[in-house]
Amino acid sequence: MKTFEERLTAWIDGQLTGPDLAAFEKELATHPEAAAERAEARKLGDLLRAQPVPKVGNEDFFNHQLMQRIAAETPRGVEPEKRRVSFWSLPRLVLAGAACLLVALGLFHTLIPAGLPPREKTDYYAEVVELWPGDPSISACTVYDPADNVTVVWLEGLDYIPASYALK
């Protein structure tokens, strides 16, 4: 619903018609000054329409002078109330939070490995392909332990280890 001022302006301009006009004129019975205001507004409108509109040569210069004059006549202590706009409004905070979360997740997945890596193989690698002892009384077999990644050569029937095989 329109406010009283909007309906008053429409009434002064002659834009109210029908039931809106009748209802508003009943409401105007409590405002006797409204009829005088309507008469003054119509008189001013007729006066303005009767006068020729002056042609302004340089609109930008005219606007600049007008703004300077308004600024000079405005009291210094009274400034128009400015709406304080912060850079970190709620939508920007949400967007910045989502961006930080995406960056953190990206860094997490690229820099932190997933789970334990498989055991690394060393540069030293040996594979027993075939065993045959020179002495038929000695038997040899291999045993591989995957948990420790160790291959053991098991010798049976050997009385001693030659000195050339001693650990140094």
Q: Which residue has the tokens 């010798």?
A: 155
Higher per-residue pLDDT: 132 or 72: 72
Please give the Cα distance from 34 to 42 (Å, whole number).
12
Query: What pLDDT is attached to residue 122?
Result: 63
CB 20 within 8 A of CB 4: no
Query: What pLDDT is attached to residue 168?
Result: 56
Beta bridge pairs of residue 156? 139
DSSP label of 136? T
Query: What pLDDT is attached to residue 95?
Result: 93
On the CB side of 156, CA atoms within 13 Å amount to 4
Please give the Cα distance from 26 to 145 (Å, whole number).
105
Query: What pLDDT is attached to residue 121?
Result: 63
Tokens in use for 139? 């038997």
Nearest to 150 by CA among 124, 130, 129: 124
Question: Does residue 17 have a pLDDT over 80?
Answer: yes
Tokens in use for 104? 């953190």
Q: Which of the four pLDDT bands, split at 50, 70 and 90, describes residue 136?
A: confident
Please give the Cα distance from 125 to 47 (Å, whole number).
108
Please give the Cα distance from 116 to 127 (Å, whole number).
26
88 Cβ contact partners less than 8 Å away, ≥ 6 residues apart: 96
The fraction of the chain above a pLDDT of 70, given in percent, is: 82
